Amino acid sequence: MDNFVLRGDAAAALAASLVDAAPASQKKRHRQTTIHHGDKVVSQERVQYLKEELDDAKTTDNMLSLLEALEQVFVSLEMLEKTKIGVALTRLSRRAQSDEVKERALKLLKVWKNRAKKAMRRRARRVETYGRNYAD
């Protein structure tokens, strides 16, 4: 117990050092005050809407405009799992008659697959570190 209790000169020295320390209000605070870029904020309804439009698309121009809209959207692993947008995009790449649509769809699928692989690795590390409850 004596290792943790300060007595005599040690206690006086500690009290003096605490008085001389800068108050908490003078310490520099590091925190985010403004969100400058909301490019990774996407609603599930928007992705679901784009998926339905992609399934119904008939013309090449319509398909290209939808692919352009999907390229602008950040689709996370969770969003891919919930909306099944990757399945719709794979279907489009197989049924499209235009080579440009096929190329852009496959390029977008490749980007999403890489992003999903990285997210799966992060998820696996979280499971290793914190256990199964923190993975989701």
CATH number for the domain whose boundaries are 44-134? 1.20.930.10
Task: Flag whether pLDDT at 19 surpasses 70.
Answer: no
Q: State how far the alpha carbon of 35 is from the alpha carbons of 38, 108, 128, in Å.
A: 7, 27, 31
Distance CA 79, CA 77 (A): 5
Using one digit for the tens of pLDDT, what is the confidence trace for 98-119?
Answer: 999 999 999 999 999 999 999 9
pLDDT in tens, 51-95: 999 999 999 999 999 999 999 988 889 999 999 999 999 999 999
* Residue 44 pLDDT grade (very low, low, confident, very high; cuts 50, 70, 90): confident
Q: What is the pLDDT of residue 129?
A: 81
Q: Which long-range contacts (CB under 8 A, 24 or more apart) does 82-87 make?
A: 82/44, 83/44, 83/47, 83/48, 83/51, 84/51, 85/47, 85/50, 85/51, 85/54, 86/112
